[in-house]
C-alpha cells in the first residue's frame, strides 16, 4: 500500500520507514476511520453554535435556538419550529456546506421513519417492506415461553446465515426502539446471541419476523398531553430491563 502511495506521490519517498511503513498527517477526516465521525460532529456543532444554537446538556445531538429545535443523526438534520426561521437556518447551513436536500411539510421521512402531522398528535410509520420481503405468515406474539432457553448442543448457523442473523437483529433493534416495544425484550435477548447464533436462535428470530409481518401497518402515535394549558410529560422505565442477567433472586436492592 505504501509503494502504491509513493508511486502516486513521489515526494513522500523519503518519509518511508525502514519497515516499509509511512505515517502522514491528513488535513481532513478520512471516510471510514472511527475518528472521522468525531471530526465531522465537532465541525458541524461548532458551526451551529456559531450561528446561535445551544447544545442540550443531556444529549449533544439535540440543539436549540429560540423556537427552533434541531436533531443531528450523522449527516441528517431534523428541525422543528417556525417555517421562516427554519429556512433561514437552512440557508446558513447551505452557505457553509453547499446545497443540501430539503424536505418539509406535514408528511416527511427521516432515517427510515415517516412522520405524519395530525391535529391531535404525530403518527410515526416505519417502512418494513425490505426487511419482511421474504417473510411468510403471522403470529400473535413475538416470542414464546421458551425465549430464554438455550440448548447447549444446538447446531450453529453456517457463516452466511450467521452474518444475515446478525444484520437482521441489528435492524430489529433499531425498529424496536421506534415502534410499540412489545418485541424489544426478545430482540435484546437475540442481541446476546449474534456471536454464535444457532438454528434455535434463528427460529426465535423467525417468529419475531412473523409477528412484525402481522403488524407492519401499525402506527406509533405520539401526542402531547395538556392539563390546564400546561404540557405534561410522563417517563416510564422497565426496572427489570436486565432481568436476564439476574442470577441470585434473593439479592435486595436499595
The pLDDT of residue 209 is 93
pLDDT at 249 over 80: no
Give residue limits of the domains in the chain: 34-102, 105-254
Three-state DSSP class for residue 188: helix
Between 27 and 238, where is the model more confident?
27
Q: What is the pLDDT of residues 170-219, one digit of tens each?
A: 999 888 888 777 888 999 999 999 999 999 999 999 999 999 998 888 87
Report yes or no: 193 and 149 within 8 Å, Cβ to Cβ: no
Indicate the range of 78-82, 85-89, 116-120 predicted with least confidence. Answer: 116-120
Residue-averaged pLDDT of the chain: 85
The pLDDT of residue 187 is 93
Helix (H) or strand (E) holding 220, with range, is strand 220-222
> Which pLDDT band, with edges at 50, 70 and 90, does 251 fall under?
very low
> Which pLDDT band, with edges at 50, 70 and 90, does 103 fall under?
confident
Residues 6+ apart with CB under 8 A from 169: 187, 190, 191, 193, 194, 205
Helix (H) or strand (E) holding 24, with range, is none
The pLDDT of residue 254 is 42
The pLDDT of residue 51 is 95
Report yes or no: 123 and 220 within 8 Å, Cβ to Cβ: yes
The pLDDT of residue 222 is 78
Write down the pTM of the prediction: 0.64
Q: What is the pLDDT of residues 208-224, one digit of tens each?
A: 999 999 888 887 787 77
Q: Which CATH class is domain 34-102?
A: alpha beta
pLDDT at 73 over 70: yes
The pLDDT of residue 246 is 45
Amino acid at each position: 500500500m505504501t509503494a502504491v502511495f509513493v508511486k502516486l506521490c513521489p515526494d513522500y519517498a523519503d518519509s518511508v520507514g525502514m519497515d516499509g511503513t509511512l505515517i502522514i498527517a491528513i488535513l481532513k477526516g478520512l471516510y471510514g476511520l472511527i475518528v472521522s465521525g468525531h471530526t465531522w460532529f465537532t465541525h458541524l456543532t461548532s458551526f451551529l453554535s456559531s450561528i446561535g444554537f445551544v447544545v442540550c446538556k443531556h444529549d449533544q445531538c439535540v440543539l436549540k435556538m429560540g423556537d427552533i429545535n434541531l436533531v443531528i443523526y450523522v449527516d441528517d438534520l431534523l428541525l422543528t419550529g417556525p417555517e421562516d426561521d427554519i429556512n433561514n437556518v437552512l440557508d446558513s447551513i447551505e452557505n457553509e456546506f453547499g446545497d443540501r436536500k430539503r424536505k418539509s411539510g406535514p408528511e416527511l421521512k427521516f432515517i427510515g421513519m415517516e412522520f405524519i402531522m395530525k391535529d391531535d398528535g404525530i403518527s410515526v410509520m416505519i417502512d418494513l417492506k425490505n426487511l419482511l420481503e421474504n417473510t411468510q405468515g403471522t403470529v400473535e406474539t413475538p416470542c414464546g415461553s421458551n425465549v430464554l432457553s438455550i440448548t447447549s448442543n444446538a447446531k450453529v448457523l453456517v457463516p452466511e446465515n450467521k452474518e444475515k442473523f446478525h444484520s437482521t437483529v441489528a435492524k430489529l433493534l433499531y425498529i424496536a426502539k421506534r415502534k410499540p416495544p412489545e418485541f424489544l425484550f426478545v430482540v435484546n435477548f437475540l442481541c446476546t446471541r449474534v456471536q454464535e447464533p444457532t438454528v434455535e436462535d434463528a427460529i426465535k428470530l423467525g417468529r419475531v419476523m412473523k409477528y412484525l409481518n402481522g403488524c407492519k401497518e401499525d402506527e406509533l402515535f405520539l401526542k402531547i398531553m395538556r392539563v390546564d394549558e400546561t404540557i405534561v410529560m410522563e417517563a416510564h422505565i422497565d426496572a427489570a430491563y436486565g432481568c436476564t442477567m439476574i442470577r441470585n433472586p434473593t439479592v435486595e436492592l436499595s
